Amino acid sequence: MAFQILLNFFIALVWMFLSSSMTVTTFVIGYLIGFILLLMMRRFFHERLYIERLWAAIKLTFLFIRELIMSNISVLRLVLRPKLDIQPRIFALPTDLEQDWEITLLSSLITLTPGTIVVHVSDDQNILYVHAIDADDVDDAIDSIKNTFEKAIKEVSRP
Amino acid sequence: MKTNDVILQTGTKVVFFIIFLFSIHIFFAGHFAPGGGFVGGLLTTAAIVLLLLAFDLKTVQKALPFNFMIVVAVGLLLALGTAAGSILFDVPFFTHAYDDFNLPLFGVSSLHTAMIFDAGVYLVVVGSTITMIQTIGGDS
């Protein structure tokens, strides 16, 4: 991914030197031409085209915003309820993510959505301990996190 | 009992650069906007202290192998040299000089000897605060 972006920048720079005008406009035109060239040559790369990973990252951002709004509303409903019948739990969330930044990103996303907080990461980084404010069904909570955030992060980090 | 600090360390690796960049910005903004050598030095120290909190003393000392007492000495020399340089031109002590230069990359920019004095202040602040923290934190 980094190599492809560098290549794209390099093509844009070469385009600037060829047209001998050092303006932003020329750079943008060169960048677009470089992107079309990368699109043509995508069979020769070992990894996916970087635009796909960028798109996955944008999708993850929008997914996070959606989850943030939804879970805020649900916590608000819990707070405003006259009777407090919540079921707080700490459960272990097994994760398949390996890189440090993936674990950090997943933990931050879980913590930033209200109602769930990551309290600890196990030493071998395979288990996150999550505190949920209202988890009637633990398997359900694990499934929901796995199917939203973890899947989206894997989509971003897949080479 | 060793805990897993993966979130703190990964966050630090990103945030450190932002704090350091901001400290450099504050240092250069000192003439016309709030900022200057003292605040810039303290912010740089804050970035290094964040590293010290996330990692341990030995790792940071390996990453930044400076003797910070010498950094203090260099800063004091810079400040004193800027002040004493005015004697050579037969003007009172601490008189600053400035002029507009046409630099190749920045265009016309006014260079001021107060900047060198500020760099001295910056180095003294960074050196002394890091020396204090390392002396208190280290057990040797």
DSSP string over B44-68: HHHHHHHHHHHS-HHHHHHHS---H
Counting beta carbons within 10 angstroms of the beta carbon of residue B62, is it exposed (0 to 12), middle (13 to 18) or buried (19 or more)?
exposed
Contact A103 B7 (CB under 8 A): yes
Instruction: Domain ranges for chain B, please list them.
Output: 6-138
Q: What's the Cα-to-Cα distance from A3 to each of A45, A50, A53, A156, rounded to whole Å?
A: 10, 9, 13, 16
Residues present in chain A in total: 159
Contact: B6, A100; criterion CB under 8 Å: yes
Closest CA in chain A for residue B7 = A104
Structure tokens at B23: 């400290």
> Closest residue of A to B6, CA-based?
A100
Residue A60 and residue A155 in contact, taking contact as beta carbons nearer than 8 Å = yes
Contacts of A100 in chain B (CB under 8 A): 6, 9-10
The model's pLDDT over A40-52, given as tens digits with 9 standing for 90+, comes to 988 888 888 888 9
Residues of A within 8 A of B6 (CB-CB) are 100, 103-104, 121, 125
Q: Residue A101 is nearest to which of B2, B4, B10, comparing CB atoms? A: B10
Q: Are B42 and B24 in contact (CB under 8 A)?
A: no
Q: How far is A24 from A26, CA to CA, in rounded Å?
A: 6
Mean pLDDT value across chain A: 88
How close B139 comes to chain A (CA, Å)? 27
Length of chain B, in residues: 140
The whole-number pLDDT of residue B21 equals 94
Once rounded to an integer, what is the mean pLDDT over residues A118-142?
85
Name the pTM for this structure.
0.78
What is the mean predicted confidence (pLDDT) over B6-16? Answer: 91
Residue B1 pLDDT grade (very low, low, confident, very high; cuts 50, 70, 90): low
User: What is the distance in angstroms between the Cα of B105 and the nearest Cα belonging to chain A?
Assistant: 14
Distances (CA, A) of A97 to A33, A78, A152, A156, B131: 36, 31, 11, 12, 40
- What are the DSSP calls for A27-80, one per residue? HHHHHHHHHHHHHHTGGG-SS--HHHHHHHHHHHHHHHHHHHHHHHHHHHHHHH
Residues 6+ apart with CB under 8 A from B133: B45, B49, B52
- pLDDT tens for B75-108 read 999 988 888 888 888 888 877 777 777 777 777 7
